[in-house]
Structure 1
Amino acid sequence: MDICFVSNVIYPFITGGAEKRIHEIGTRLADEGHDITIYGRHFWDGPAETTHEGMTLRAVAPEAELYEDDRRSITEAIDFAARALPPLRRRLSDDEHDLAIASVFPYFPVLSTKLASLGTSTPVVTTWHEVWGDYWEEYLGLLAPGGKLVEQLTAKTPQHPIAVSGITADNLADIGPNREHIEVVPNGLDTEQVQTAPRPDTGYDIVFAGRLIEHKNVDILLEAFDAVADRHDVTLGIIGDGPERDRLDTKRESLEHADRVSMLGFLEEYEDVLGHMRAADIFASPSTREGFGITFVEAMAADCTVIAADHPDSAADEVIDGAGFLVDPTVDSLTETLDDVLGGDRPATDPVERAQQYDWDAVADQAETVYQRAIDGSW
């Protein structure tokens, strides 16, 4: 297969879940002898076209700022989509690629990839990590109708859609393609990398890792920890940064056991995050919005007992599947389960065995099968 990915950001020059997925699947397919090209922004040093770990990187737009006031830049997304269209159109018209795979967020590149494919035999596959729906109101406020419209337009664009979880597939089916036409290929991780990550000099009994935004509910975790700290000699490490950081710092200072809580901020090295998971006994994240939840898998691979929120907007129950505990996203429910786990309760399923199902080798095999079906017309 000759496959091209369309993504404004490319790993490892920009680090994030969607671009890491492309990298991990792409490098494995390249090792299998497939030709892999990524069209993106020029975030690397050197020429606009280069080879990286067996893949061709092709810059179709210059480096640019991705965020404006903690939100992804709409103008950047439109600019990248517009710049990517002509070279994509030229290459696809020449039948250079058998398949074009567009990262959904920030939406506009999907539309330009589809336009570039019109009149060609190249199918377009999309990868949906989340469907935002009503979350647009929290994210954009008065501009939310515009966000919803673009998301729905993207969902209704003819495509071969992949969702990273069943809940994301269900949410996508509500605004676009029929559910039976949506394939589920989960996100993954390198389990060996997790299990060999160096532990930190100072570890914590309980950890959280993620962006500090409202729906992660870190304030609930802080209150629940403070309650169990009355009965257990434990510590808590909060890994991450975001718009809620100042408010959570203030919240931490108000706790009775504030001296046992550390706000570690954003850790530059991924292995440092994994090391903290390896050092911890419990990974707790009462987040109510998770299109997949890769931190749950990382924590399971690190042999943490995972505690996550049971919520209709979260794939936690699907990802964990008995290898951790689900709670209501409330202080009382989380406190009770933290108490039980600190008292010796363990999940029914071994978390390390569960995590193994999400190893990138297994995920890449699934992706390869689905991509071939799109090319063969059997999707």
Structure 2
Amino acid sequence: MRIAFVSNVVYPFVTGGAEKRIHEIGTRLADNGHEVTVYGRHYWDGPAEITHEGMTLRAAAPSAELYDGDRRSITEALDFAARLVPTLRRHLRNDEHDVVVASVFPYFPVLSTKLTALGTETPLVTTWHEVWGDYWEEYLGRLGPFGKLAEGVTARTPQHPVAISGITADRLADLGPDRGDIEIVPNGIDTDQIRSAPLPDEGYDVLFAGRLIEHKNVDLLLEAFDAVAGGTDLTLGVIGDGPERDALEATAASLDHADRVEFLGFLEEYDDVLGHMRVADVFASPSTREGFGLTFAEAMAADCTVIAADHPDSAADEVLGNAGFLAEPTVESVRETLDRAVDGDRPPSDPVARADKFDWDRVATRALSVFRGATNDF
């Protein structure tokens, strides 16, 4: 099959969940004899078109800054959407691709991909990582309605939608697509890599890994840990960086057991994060907004007891099943659950076995089935 992915950012030259998903699925499909092309910005060295790990990387636009301050740049997304059209049109008109798969978001490249594909027999598959809805007003302030409008227009554009979780599919259905038409293909993990990651010189009993932003609720975890740590030698490691780091470090410094908490910052090597998961007993992240929750799957594969938040804006329950614990996003509930976990209480189902469900090999097989279905439905 001839598969084209559209993503302004390309892994491993830019690292992030959406681009890594394309890389992991794309390389596996290429290894199985499929022709895979990725249209993105020119973040790699060398010519505009190269072969990388079996895939063709084709630059539709030059490299550019992705962020304007702390937020993704709207002008960057518009610029990439416009520059994508002539490059993609040329190859679609030559009937070089059986299907085009575009990541959401940003939204504008999805719309330009659909426009470019008009008049061809190439279907558009979209991958929805999140649906923000009212969160746009918090993210963009007075410009929030424009974010919601772009999201709504994209959702109502004819497409073969894929969501990474049931909660994302439900929210997408509220914007237009019929729920029965939305396929679910979760994000994935490399279970072999996780279980063979090198162990750190020093590990922690309880671990958090993620971006230090408000909805991750790391402050709740810090206070809950402090309440549990008395009379023990428990330690907490916090991996990640973000706008809340200074405030969280100040909170940690005020705890009774501040000497048991360490902020490791952003770890450049993914294996270093996995190694810390392997030596931790408990992985805790009371985040209230997770379109999927990849760190939960990674931690389960590392045989951690996982604690996540029970919240309508989080897909944690879908990822964990009965192989982890859910807590209300309050200090008291997280404390009670953490206390049980550090005392050795384990979930009813085996976390390692649950994590196997999300191995990239299985995810790639599922994605290929969806791509083939889209071409049959055209």
SS in structure 1 at match of 2:122? coil
Q: List aligned pairs for 1:1-379, cutoff 5 A.
A: 1-377=1-377
| Count of residues in Structure 1 that have an aligned counterpart in Structure 2 | 378
Aligned counterparts of 2:86 and 2:59: Cα–Cα separation in 1: 12
SS in structure 1 at match of 2:238? strand
The TM-score with structure 1 as length reference comes to 0.99
Cα-to-partner distance string for 1:150-186 (whole Å, 9 max, x where unaligned) = 1111111110000001111001000120000000000
Q: Which amino acid aligns with 1:3?
A: I
SS in structure 2 at match of 1:276? helix
Range moving further from structure 2, 328-337 or 222-231: 222-231
Provide the identity percentage: 73
Q: Which amino acid aligns with 1:221?
A: L
Range moving further from structure 2, 286-295 or 246-255: 246-255
Aligned counterparts of 1:222 and 1:366: Cα–Cα separation in 2: 38
Aligned counterparts of 2:141 and 2:229: Cα–Cα separation in 1: 38
Deviation at 1:94, TM superposition (A): 1.8
Deviation at 1:262, TM superposition (A): 0.5
Q: Which amino acid aligns with 1:105?
A: F
Q: Which amino acid aligns with 1:358?
A: F
Deviation at 1:377, TM superposition (A): 1.3
Cα-to-partner distance string for 1:164-211 (whole Å, 9 max, x where unaligned) = 011110010001200000000000010000000011111000000011
SS in structure 2 at match of 1:33? coil
Aligned counterparts of 1:214 and 1:139: Cα–Cα separation in 2: 12
Deviation at 1:232, TM superposition (A): 2.8
Q: Which amino acid aligns with 1:123?
A: P
Structure 1 runs, 4 residues or longer, greater than 4 Å off = none
SS in structure 2 at match of 1:204? coil
Q: Which amino acid aligns with 2:277?
A: M
Runs of 5+ consecutive residues of structure 2 not aligned to the other structure: none
Aligned counterparts of 1:139 and 1:220: Cα–Cα separation in 2: 22
Aligned counterparts of 2:137 and 2:265: Cα–Cα separation in 1: 27
Q: Which amino acid aligns with 1:197?
A: A
CA contact under 8 A between 1:207 and 1:238: conserved in structure 2? Answer: yes
Deviation at 1:231, TM superposition (A): 3.8
Deviation at 1:230, TM superposition (A): 1.2
Q: Which amino acid aligns with 2:247?
A: R
Cα-to-partner distance string for 1:216-265 (whole Å, 9 max, x where unaligned) = 00000010001001143200011111111111111111111111100111
The TM-score with structure 2 as length reference comes to 0.99
Aligned counterparts of 1:34 and 1:54: Cα–Cα separation in 2: 9
Range moving further from structure 2, 106-115 or 226-235: 226-235
SS in structure 1 at match of 2:87? helix
Range moving further from structure 2, 224-233 or 255-264: 224-233
SS in structure 2 at match of 1:133? coil
Aligned counterparts of 1:121 and 1:305: Cα–Cα separation in 2: 48
CA contact under 8 A between 1:232 and 1:342: conserved in structure 2? Answer: no
CA contact under 8 A between 1:283 and 1:299: conserved in structure 2? Answer: yes
Q: Which amino acid aligns with 2:139?
A: Y
